[in-house]
Amino acid sequence: MNCNQQRLRFTIMHEIGHIVLGHKISNDETESEADYFARNALAPLAIVIKKNITSPDELMNVFDISYQCSGIVIRNLGLKIQYGHMELEKYDLDLLKLFNI
């Protein structure tokens, strides 16, 4: 998939995020929330953790996302590790079951 298709998928997921999150207005906060939704829908952190993906390049290849998106996901993973928040929630475990991971 080329960069334009990756960007299109992100944009579509971003807009779905606005709908799912019930956004009625557009501001910095709602845009950040929709970006967060899109990143986690396209590259769920639970799967990234379980598959032990640690580099943006590997993340790009596994999830077919842009380098920019993969860099942010890896940075967020680093923050989870740094602050010791590596335990998975029930919804994370349910997601892993859906993908037989």
Question: Regarding predicted confidence, which is higher, 77 or 18?
Answer: 18
Is the CB of residue 9 less than 8 Å from the CB of residue 37?
no
Residue 12's domain spans which residues? 3-98
Domain total of the chain: 1
Amino acid type, 21: L
Q: How confident is the model at residue 92 (pLDDT cuts 50, 70, 90)?
A: confident
Asked if the model's pLDDT at residue 3 lies above 70, the reply is no
Asked if the model's pLDDT at residue 99 lies above 60, the reply is yes
State residue 93's pLDDT score: 86
Q: What is the mean pLDDT of the chain?
A: 90
